Amino acid sequence: MTVRPARPTDRDDISSLQRLVTHPSPELLDAWPTVGTLLVSVDTDDHPVGYLLGVGSHLAELAVAPSARREGRATALIEAYHERHMDASLTLFVHPENDGARACYDALGFQHDARVTDAFDGDDAIRLVYDG
């Protein structure tokens, strides 16, 4: 499985994957690469089937296509991002009712840190922390 930095030619695939994110930030994706780091997990034809968009040590978005789930892609994306930010704990926000994402992050070793009010357009979030 390959994780690599995103390329401008990956934009359409990433935009399609972003539709899977419960609370996407299209403006953040539009600001890449000047604002953050964008990594992709690619299939055997080098097409993105997952992505991670981060700003500093904060993971803003992570999505994997349903057809590519349970293959370790989320883990590989987080590990690759963590290698770039070894000097800091990684953080992310997850909606309290997003059981699938919460289970994934729990399995990856993220720890519950705090509840953040109004993080998602009026909805609360749970802040998770990953130390690797």
pTM of this structure: 0.89
pLDDT tens readout for residues 24-36:
888 888 888 888 8
Name the token pair of 32.
């890449």
Beta bridge partners of 48: 42
Q: Which CATH superfamily is domain 2-130 in?
A: Gcn5-related N-acetyltransferase (GNAT) (3.40.630.30)
Enumerate the domain spans of the chain.
Answer: 2-130
pLDDT tens for 38-91 read 999 999 999 999 999 999 999 999 999 999 998 999 999 999 999 988 878 899
Parallel/antiparallel/unpaired status of strands 90-94 and 58-64: parallel
CA distance 51 to 77: 7
